[in-house]
Chains A and B, each alone.
Chain A
Amino acid sequence: MNSLDIYSIDSLPDMSNNLMDWLVLMPEIFMLLATSTILMIGLFAGRKDELLTYILSLATLLVMIFLLVAANKYNDSILFDGMYVIDGLANFIKILVCITVIAVFVYARPYLLNRNFAKPEFYILGLFATLGMLIMASAQNFITIYLGLELLSLCLYALVAYVRDSNNASEAAIKYFVLGAIASGMLLYGMSIVYGITGTLNLSEISLYLANQNDVNIGLIFALTFIVIGVAFKFGAVPFHMWVPDVYQGAPTAVTLFIATAPKFAAFVMAIRLLSDGLQPLHIDWQQMLIILAVLSLIFGNVIAIAQTHIKRMLAYSTISHIGFVLLGLLSGESFGYASALFYTAVYVLMAAGTFAILLLLKNDSSNLYEDVDKLSDFKGLSQSHPWLAFLMLLLMFSMAGVPLTVGFYAKLYVLQSLVYNDFIWLAVLAVVMSIVGAFYYLRVIKYMYFDEIEDTLTSQNAPIATAVLSINGLLIVGLFIFPNYLLNYCVSVFG
């Protein structure tokens, strides 16, 4: 094992090391093979194909979690000439992604079945997207990052258009695809300039090269700008947020749930790999860019969300504002801030998953299959017709607002602490003032559910498993408030 730990990049890899590399890569290889197999099985399974794909997909993800936990002992290995890295961060993100995707599949199925949207493709695309995220989590080279990113993005574009008869979804997919392609182009352009200057695509070598440079290289700053734009687009930070509301609203809610959750981990880890692992020496420069992105995201996200009457669109803007908080954590450029951003991302995904799951479990009596439960006014009197769902929603909304007694409070507290620690008190003040603005539209949801008389009769899907998972998800908001140590310590430890 020792040879793995001190794997040196410039020495020619011999065969035995390569074999070890493949071994360490087991989880990803398994995932690829399993997904391809499920694809084939789904094709030939006949009428039961959807159920079979669903069960096999869940099984694959469960095995993945097991493999990833087992792979923890290969921590800090660098594979394939520095293309791929297995470290605590990568493993943690991968495990979180797999858990999230399991929850997404469980939440999505009753909705898909109810509308006759249930097809094996949903799970297959989801699994390939997951593989893309896993690759991104471990990427240590521009090429690998790009590979993972495109695998993820292409699956997401297809997922948005998954219900092909829906005009809204098709429109959203086209917007997402065009804007996403531009962003990928920007990212590639930035990467190519960095390659031109440093002569390498490997992140640690780039970092080494930059650390030895004494004077500022304008070309590098130029390239950095494009890379940050690429990252900002994937996060959905203002002013690269245009796709977020349209895609969130246009896509079927099940797909929105997917986009709103797991890929945030991927975006986070991509930012860490690019900015921290690769371009840390340019910290001063990208810090300023992130400040602008974060401030704009906080202000625009929160203020525009107030004007929304549709909950998916409101949640889209709320996501933008949460991304602002994640960026606030990232911009400090040191492990304290990174850990706070990771914790924030994890908490955010937990909240977003629960919120969209509630939307999925409810159905209105509209005959139009493509019309989801989306209007805020649909929620009127929900506390009377569905007290438990309304209570979970209440917890989620307070958590998103960052009120104590919910874990959302710690997420904000942690980021604020990192800001004050790094002498960005003005940013901390701005962040809390904007979260007061944000509190308004979260409270409004509660107002509809609890203070208004019942109007529309929303019914809920009969989905015991999804409801059970949702209950755990919702109660975790309070559970993690009382016992946050495990998650917090893990977030700290991966940044050592």
Chain B
Amino acid sequence: MLSSLPILSTLIWLPIIGGLLVLVAKKISVSSVRWLSLLIAIATFLVSIVLTKGFDSSQHTMQFYEQIAWIEVFNIYYALGVDGIAVPLILLTTVMTILVIIAGWEISKERIAEYFAAFLILEGLMIGVFCALDAILFYIFFEGMLIPMFLIIGIWGGPRRVYATIKFFLYTFFGSVFLLIALIYLYLHAGTFEIAALQLTTLDQTQQLLLFLAFFIAFAVKIPMWPVHTWLPDAHVEAPTGGSVILAAIMLKVGGYGFLRFSIPITPYASSQLAYLIIAISLIAIVYIGYVALAQRDMKKLIAYSSIAHMGFVTLGFFVIYKLTLANSSYSELALQGGMVQMISHGFISGAMFLCVGVLYDRMHSRQIADYGGVVNTMPKFATFFVIFAMANAGLPGTSGFVGEFMVILASFKANVWIAFLAATTLILGAAYTLWMIKRVVFGSVANDEVAKLKDINSREFFCLFVLTILVLWIGLWPAPLIEMMDASVTNLLNQAHQTNLP
């Protein structure tokens, strides 16, 4: 019964149309803007709960399928569907959007409607990315996301926002145009833009390698992987709190999702050939970027670099499967699942960390670690949350940060001890940069008068952080529902990954 309703279309269009309504509500009053935005975000979340309830996790096929012929000349379909990989990401999106709206409640009243509208429209577009079954439709959402984010950073960002947002836009635009050419090439080769059909297309070795590289540029910039990561610290530092949260929690995941939807299933031969390259880059991200994070003086920059390092685990998990023999396929599954869990967990943790920095920034208007010290004395409740998230970021067992990293390290141990060894350095580095920051910001004696005047978090901020704490601990202690949900899809993906798709 449920599958007959266009649930996915509702998920995409409800926030987009809602966002436009919010712009109209601006004429009435500021509080109507706030409540309407919150209402729309909650309604979208409820629809995504309905989606999860109706989702049959024993199937790996696309569910809640919708298809309408859209553009005849290009043979583009408005085709939507979700599998076990997409559903958790959609849930992540709807949850984080609610929190961002609550966190942005007090933002400057002048352009509050535009601010909320941008986030709601962005939410619809991001959900669209995770549902699209047509390659061009995917591309449209993939690129369309840039517009609201560009405006969010540019309008509500910090002093160097113009530089940061243009860099962000051009970087990601640069990556994705190659994806576009790859898709057009595939279309002329296979005669369709349907992703499922493209995954069955046979391509020779050169074609696969070139297509893989085109996909790789697009998704590596988005994730971002070393060495094309430089836009991320800038964008994060300058973005408003909500922008940082969405950027880290969801937009980075789109890159990882792209690897699972395009690179691995469409060009499995090339993926296996170039897996060593991706693994090497991932390890560089984990180790080198970990050291870079250690050297940061700006809290947001530190978390941004830690994001890059954590996303290194995602790509490592996705590509280490090619270094495992078929006999170890249960470990391959573990690696893929680990990568996925890491994506979801990083979504919550990085979102929470950025919210925490936002809380401090709202009060002190500084992100410099050196400006703080002894925050625990004046903000005990806040300090508790901040320490919990910092522990999760460092990968403490019992938190979600541990689960994904552990799964990936375990799997890579089977593949190659040295890969596992290097990956495991994150446990030291991650703890080092996160806890050192915590030590300098939260603990110690009160550093200056301004810290002494700080007020602890209000109930609104408390709610946001509390919800995230529950989620982080839940996945940390009991990840089974999440893993179960994606199990069938991951197994299917693994089968696809071990095809060659060669003629």
**Using Cβ atoms and an 8 Å threshold, which residues of chain A touch B140?**
404-405, 409
* A428 B181 Cβ-Cβ under 8 A: yes
* A413 B166 Cβ-Cβ under 8 A: no
Binds A, one of B94-102, B142-150, B242-250, B306-314: B142-150
Say if the beta carbon of A443 comes within 8 Å of chain B. Answer: yes
**Using Cβ atoms and an 8 Å threshold, which residues of chain B touch A420?**
181, 184-185, 188
Residue of B72, B150, B170, B184 near A417 (CB, 8 A) is B184
Min CB gap A397→B, angstroms: 11
Say if the beta carbon of B452 comes within 8 Å of chain A. Answer: no
Residue of A413, A414, A489 near B72 (CB, 8 A) is A489
Say if the beta carbon of B28 comes within 8 Å of chain A. Answer: no
Binds B, one of A167-175, A357-365, A430-438: A430-438
Known: A403-B147, A421-B188. A489 touches B181 (CB 8 A): no
Say if the beta carbon of B480 comes within 8 Å of chain A. Answer: no
Residue count of chain A within 8 Å CB distance of chain B: 32
Give the docked Cα–Cα distance between A380 and B403 (Å): 49
Say if the beta carbon of A398 comes within 8 Å of chain B. Answer: yes
Say if the beta carbon of B74 comes within 8 Å of chain A. Answer: yes
B177 to chain A: closest residue by CB: A432
Main secondary structure of the interface of A (DSSP, over half): helix
Chain B 68-88: CB-based contact to A (< 8 A → 1; otherwise 0): 000111100000000000000
For this complex, into which size category does the number of interface residues on chain B fall?
A: 20 to 34
**Using Cβ atoms and an 8 Å threshold, which residues of chain A touch B181?**
416, 420, 425, 428-429, 432
**Using Cβ atoms and an 8 Å threshold, which residues of chain B touch A425?**
181, 185
**Using Cβ atoms and an 8 Å threshold, which residues of chain A touch B178?**
429, 432
Residue of B72, B147, B174 near A488 (CB, 8 A) is B72
**Using Cβ atoms and an 8 Å threshold, which residues of chain A touch B165?**
451
**Using Cβ atoms and an 8 Å threshold, which residues of chain A touch B155?**
450-451
Chain B 120-157: CB-based contact to A (< 8 A → 1; otherwise 0): 00000000000000001001110110110011001100
Say if the beta carbon of B276 comes within 8 Å of chain A. Answer: no
Known: A443-B150, A451-B155. A436 touches B174 (CB 8 A): yes
Say if the beta carbon of A439 comes within 8 Å of chain B. Answer: yes
Say if the beta carbon of A484 comes within 8 Å of chain B. Answer: yes
Say if the beta carbon of A217 comes within 8 Å of chain B. Answer: no
Min CB gap A254→B, angstroms: 31
**Using Cβ atoms and an 8 Å threshold, which residues of chain A touch B162?**
447, 451
Say if the beta carbon of A214 comes within 8 Å of chain B. Answer: no
Q: Which of A405, A410, A492 has most B Cβ within 10 Å?
A: A405
Main secondary structure of the interface of B (DSSP, over half): helix
Residue of A405, A485, A489 near B147 (CB, 8 A) is A405
Say if the beta carbon of B291 comes within 8 Å of chain A. Answer: no
* B184 A403 Cβ-Cβ under 8 A: no
* A428 B161 Cβ-Cβ under 8 A: no
* B143 A436 Cβ-Cβ under 8 A: no
Chain A 478-489: CB-based contact to B (< 8 A → 1; otherwise 0): 000000110011
**Using Cβ atoms and an 8 Å threshold, which residues of chain B touch A398?**
147
Min CB gap B194→A, angstroms: 16
Give the docked Cα–Cα distance between A340 and B340 (Å): 41
B187 to chain A: closest residue by CB: A417
**Using Cβ atoms and an 8 Å threshold, which residues of chain A touch B443?**
none
Give the docked Cα–Cα distance between A398 and B188 (Å): 27
Give the docked Cα–Cα distance between A425 and B174 (Å): 17
* B180 A432 Cβ-Cβ under 8 A: yes
Say if the beta carbon of B173 comes within 8 Å of chain A. Answer: yes
Give the docked Cα–Cα distance between A417 and B72 (Å): 14
Say if the beta carbon of B413 comes within 8 Å of chain A. Answer: no
Give the docked Cα–Cα distance between A102 and B184 (Å): 37
Say if the beta carbon of B288 comes within 8 Å of chain A. Answer: no
**Using Cβ atoms and an 8 Å threshold, which residues of chain A touch B150?**
443, 446
Give the docked Cα–Cα distance between A403 and B136 (Å): 13
* A436 B170 Cβ-Cβ under 8 A: yes
Say if the beta carbon of A440 comes within 8 Å of chain B. Answer: yes
Residue of B71, B143, B161 near A404 (CB, 8 A) is B143
**Using Cβ atoms and an 8 Å threshold, which residues of chain A touch B139?**
404
* A485 B72 Cβ-Cβ under 8 A: yes
**Using Cβ atoms and an 8 Å threshold, which residues of chain B touch A492?**
73
* A447 B166 Cβ-Cβ under 8 A: yes
**Using Cβ atoms and an 8 Å threshold, which residues of chain A touch B65?**
none
* A413 B161 Cβ-Cβ under 8 A: no
29 contacts between A and B (CB under 8 A): A404-B144, A405-B143, A409-B140, A410-B71, A413-B180, A414-B74, A416-B184, A417-B74, A417-B187, A420-B188, A425-B185, A428-B181, A429-B181, A432-B177, A432-B181, A433-B174, A435-B177, A439-B173, A440-B170, A443-B169, A447-B166, A450-B155, A451-B154, A451-B155, A451-B162, A484-B71, A485-B73, A489-B72, A492-B73
B interface residue numbers (CB < 8 A to A): 71-74, 136, 139-141, 143-144, 146-147, 150-151, 154-155, 161-162, 165-166, 169-170, 173-174, 177-178, 180-181, 184-185, 187-188
Pairs A-B, 5 closest by C-beta atoms: A432-B177, A404-B140, A488-B73, A405-B144, A404-B143
Additional pairs, 13, CB under 8 Å, beyond known A416-B181, A420-B181, A432-B180: A403-B146, A409-B143, A410-B71, A425-B181, A428-B184, A432-B181, A436-B170, A436-B174, A444-B166, A450-B154, A451-B161, A488-B73, A489-B73
